[in-house]
Structure 1
């Protein structure tokens, strides 16, 4: 306020101060600049607040400038809502600053929100232009296990909406750190969907890992096999292997940025998601008097696990297992083991 009042009656400038002006740090910008108000208009607004009845002639004399410049400044302040239009009672009048400034702030916030809302559309235009200029920027090849682990962690950290995953062994890293990484994503409210291959669940450790993820909120389904390892983040970035994990330190993966290729990979995931069997579901309170042992067997059948792996999980012989499977198939009217598991899942037995 004092700065603007001083501007109404500028002091004489000392010649020595003028000569040193180039060495003086520039004054910080006025907060009015953020609202689109220039220095002159700010000074004029303060003059109007100070002498609201002076009129264009009086404000012109007070600021030592031409009436035409004052009129142009008043027109700008009028558009910003800091002045009210003349009426039958007189000329331009200032609006109460407590009302006018708050309204101006709300208007600027609304304009900023509209601009922010266009960010995704602008990003698509930017990505398309960058792709046309340098198509090789679409793909990044990552070499080595440690580099791949770091890039994977980075993709998880950037996830905002959804992660889609094809899961199949072998695994580059121990499962416990992966569980920590993925559970943190779920805690942030990111949706997480995984399609496991049957081979993913054939050892107790891997099955426990999958069940732990489901308990944390993962949506999980199972197929006899998945076409590849694949991670799709927010439908815009994808990561998949280029070499077999047998390559060891020479293992390579590729990161694909948003393009027709990532759209195709997301479509592939959605297609297989519809075909896959849920890993777990809501059980009936008493589905045809299933015992706990039957429930466990149905869970393992539903994911398409092989007989030897199921027998190992349940601690029974293959002969006993096959007899129990035959009994369940008869109850479900199923022709095969996988169909029995799928029908049990459909009935809510899993």
Structure 2
């Protein structure tokens, strides 16, 4: 049993079985003539020479007397140290070889599929791809919203249907979103009332929609080049992770717009819209236009709301409205 365990240990160290048998014979008979060692190990001639040479190379055996046929094992501490260094060098070489092979595979793989990591969608294909994105969401949609908007009939209905399926929807709107004529009343507020978690910020860094953890839609359209209607579809990769982090950072810095809050008695939908527009930084002219009233009427409503909230200025009014959930 001890011989078997020693033979297995030598094999794990890289010693072939014939050389292992010679080493066992050395431990039992040495110092002794090499021929006697070979006879005990069942080897002779070229086979014995090769096996014994392997032990010498590994630092486990040497001639007992210089120039004589008598052989003996080397003290194992020295021999195993040499062998361990050889094995460590071989393992390092193997690690480098395997790592290089995998890196080559990775480069070839990326070269073959690189086009699928970021897809460019343009023109008439943008609309259907956006509608498919909303329909494909299973857990959550994260969005940074800002004009210009791609003309997509039924976009609000798609968002409402997604919310009705129980998909969490978090949206950060830019101030410009609230200032688009009719956008707050017809698109933003219905989604907020349906359960969308909405926030507002002066500007968003990019127009972005993230579907679950699956992919992201990034709009390349800007006011000066809106005619291009170009969008990127980003699949899971480092860029998608960066876009997720960008959304979360923007979300944390934005001002909440509450939905489904209990509306205080006497607070009309127009009053809440007024508060939301002001919270988003809209100008007086824009607020009056969105409410469909004159500037004089707008200021009168503003004074009434400030009085109800006990605020002496607009900043205090916004803080109080936020605290009470009026937004």
- Please classify the TM superposition score into its range, dividing by the shorter chain length: 0.5 to 0.7
Q: CA RMSD in A?
A: 3.2
Q: TM-score, normalised by structure 2?
A: 0.57
Distance verdict in 2 for CA 1:239–1:328, change over 3 Å = same
Question: 2:119, 2:312 → 1: CA distance?
Answer: 47
What is residue 118 of structure 2 aligned with on the other side?
A: 139
Aligned to 1:345: 322
1:242 aligns with 2:207: no
Task: Name which one, 1 or 2, has greater alpha-carbon Rg.
Answer: 2
Q: Which runs of 5+ in 2 are unaligned?
A: 1-105
The CA deviation at 1:298 is 2.5
Are the equivalent residues in 1 in contact too, given 2:148–2:222 (CA < 8 A)? no
Give matches, 1:78-157, under 5 Å: 131=110, 134-144=113-123, 146-157=124-135
Which residue of structure 1 lines up, in the alignment, with residue 194 of structure 2?
216
Query: 2:285 maps to what in 1?
Result: 308
154 and 297 in structure 1: CA distance in 2 versus 1, 3 angstrom threshold: closer
Q: For the residues of structure 2 that align with 1:248 and 1:294, how far apart are their CA atoms? A: 33
SS in 2 for 1:305: coil
Report the counterpart of residue 8 of structure 1 in structure 2. none
Counting only pairs closer than 5 Å after superposition, residues 58-77 of structure 1 correspond to structure 2 as none
Secondary structure of the residue aligned to 2:182 is helix
Select the residue among 165, 169, 174 that pairs with 1:192: 169
Structure 1 outlier segments of 4+, above 6 Å: 289-293
Q: Name stretches of at least 5 consecutive residues in structure 1 with no aligned partner.
A: 1-126
| Count of residues in correspondence between the two structures | 219
Match of 1:82 in 2: none
Q: What is the CA distance between 1:235 and its match in structure 2? A: 2.6
Contact 1:332/1:344 (<8 A) preserved: no
Q: Aligned partners of 2:269, 2:135: CA distance in 1, in Å?
A: 39
- Normalised by the size of structure 1, how large is the TM-score? 0.53
Residue 203 of structure 2 is aligned with which of 202, 222, 225? 225
How many angstroms does 1:344 deviate by? 1.0
